[in-house]
Structure 1
């Protein structure tokens, strides 16, 4: 396992974060994939959403890695929770298995999401789709990359990967491509899309939708149904570093640390080219 070091000092160390959290993601991804073909345990949480042993095993690996790497930074994770009152200006958001329904259905569009929020914005993001061996993260401020990463119980060394830049594409407003939620599409989403010139569309689960825009395979991802901050922060960080934008329906940047709402997000739209967000008022 590579030497990870600790995140110390007054600023966030992107290089060490990329190393430590890529290693944790590879191990968490291996734990998830160990359950993929022989899923035996599915429970329903109080909100009736499913949780599996894969969620819990992945979370244990990531939380242990964050505790060793950045013990001074609070962590909020979907399954383990966390003390909202103690968040402060800087904290991690973790979704150890985003897209649990897709995982249960044996689809490949589920991800591990790890984000650092600072002063209300996602400053660092890592999204890992282990079934697709796709890693996307922000190894420097304002930089987004992707790399092939196979799930590995012994961990992985980010410096040994061959990352390539992520950049949103220049869109044609007369021929836009949309990506929507596979499990949570709704009437407001369809109404929003009807006001755009959408010529292609696809559906997916999890933070894979953010990556579709960040990779230049889609131009817009609207989401008006309920989401939590750990669902979106990592993908938001990657997309923003790739040149995209995530805004609420009122046009303001989607913010984080919304303790008063229990970390629930309002409706939002993720855009590739920022100019469209301005002209459409999203």
Structure 2
């Protein structure tokens, strides 16, 4: 369960929802799409969202440094970082955002001693927000009272794996042989981990590159819901990899 004794996740939930309200009117508009150094897309929605989130975090948590995807893309990641910091991805799933698909998210995760201890993920197009609390993972929809989230037991013969839209059939088949899931569902962004957290799916094997800000918030939520995010070998999945520009290795997110 997430160690969020101060219920920081509730504050982060308010912030991601405020950023979502800023970004949502820009969705499905004729935004200019630029290419970052790694050729991944970036839009004005990403930039405006990160500026707002960074300002709000500075107001509420002035002593905790923030590493945001867009700032890191433009200016580089820090050479070192302390034990406690925020990771921000203002629009995870920018490709989906640009396509007009709804499965993009706003994310803030709090890292302590290399592990995400609090986080919030908002999917503005659906009005869904998942976040950590002292009692576990919570979800609210369009501002309604939050309800608890919990992973489901592995459903023998009916296990659902979440994959990316670009995954090749051969890769999917190999992953099914390794992880023994039965069906797949393609969906973008960190919402995959949140779907597992709420018991809508069972596993997300990621054998490919990501960055720490892509999944920190959602990992906090999933673990608060009783799930895990580990390396394929079963080792803890660690954060604060400044010497690797905060890039992730492979991981496997699981429910019950």
Under a length normalisation based on structure 1, what TM-score does the superposition of the two structures give? 0.83
The aligned residue for residue 67 of structure 2 is 76
Contact 1:26 1:149 in 2 (8 A): no
Query: What is the aligned partner in structure 2 of residue 146 from structure 1?
Result: 139
Structure-2 residue corresponding to 1:87 = 81
Shift of 1:186: 7.6
Cross-structure match for 2:198: 215
Matches within 5 A, 1:80-119: 80-81=71-72, 84-119=78-113
CA 1:263–1:189 in structure 2 vs 1: closer, same or farther (change >3 Å)?
A: farther
- Aligned 8 A contact 1:213 1:219 in 2: yes
Residue 230 of structure 2: SS of its match in structure 1? Answer: strand
Q: Secondary structure at the match of 1:116?
A: strand
Partner of 1:58: 49
- The answer for the alignment partner of 1:39 in structure 2 is 30
Q: CA RMSD in A?
A: 2.0
Residues 9 and 118 in structure 2, CA contact (< 8 A), matched pair in contact too: no
Q: Structure 1 stretches (4+) deviating beyond 4 angstroms?
A: 184-189
2-structure distance, mates of 1:244, 1:213: 8
Does the residue aligned with 1:85 lie in a helix, a strand or coil?
coil
Alignment counterpart, residue 28 of structure 1, candidates 2, 19, 26: 19
Question: Which runs of structure 2 are paired with 1:1-282 in the superposition (5 Å)?
Answer: 14-15=6-7, 17-81=8-72, 84-140=78-134, 143-149=136-142, 161-183=144-166, 188-273=171-256
TM-fit CA distance, 1:188: 4.8
State the structure with bigger RCO (CA 8 A, min sep 6), 1 or 2. Answer: 2
Q: Are the counterparts in 2 of residues 76 and 91 from structure 1 also a CA contact under 8 Å?
A: yes
Determine if contact 1:175/1:197 at 8 Å carries over to the other structure.
Answer: no
What SS does the corresponding residue of 2:71 show, helix, strand or coil?
coil
Q: Which moved more, 1:71-80 or 1:173-182?
A: 173-182
SS of 2:120's equivalent in the other structure is strand
The verdict on how the C-alpha distance between 1:252 and 1:18 changes in structure 2, with shifts beyond 3 A counting, is closer
TM-score (norm 2): 0.91
Q: What is the CA distance between 1:262 and its match in structure 2?
A: 1.1
More displaced 10-residue stretch of structure 1: 233-242 or 174-183: 174-183
| SS of equivalent residue, structure 2 residue 151 | coil
Q: Per the alignment, in what secondary structure is the counterpart of residue 131 of structure 1?
A: coil
Q: Deviations over 1:40-83 (max 9, x none)?
A: 21100010000000001111110000111111111100001275
- 1:172, distance to aligned residue in structure 2 (A): 2.6
For structure 1, the 5+ residue unaligned runs are 1-10, 151-160, 274-282
Structure 2 vs 1, CA of residues 145 and 185 (structure 1 numbering), >3 Å: closer, same or farther? farther
**Unmatched 5+ stretches in structure 2:** none
1 CA distance for matches of 2:62 and 2:5? 14
Structure 1 residue 173 displacement after superposition: 3.7
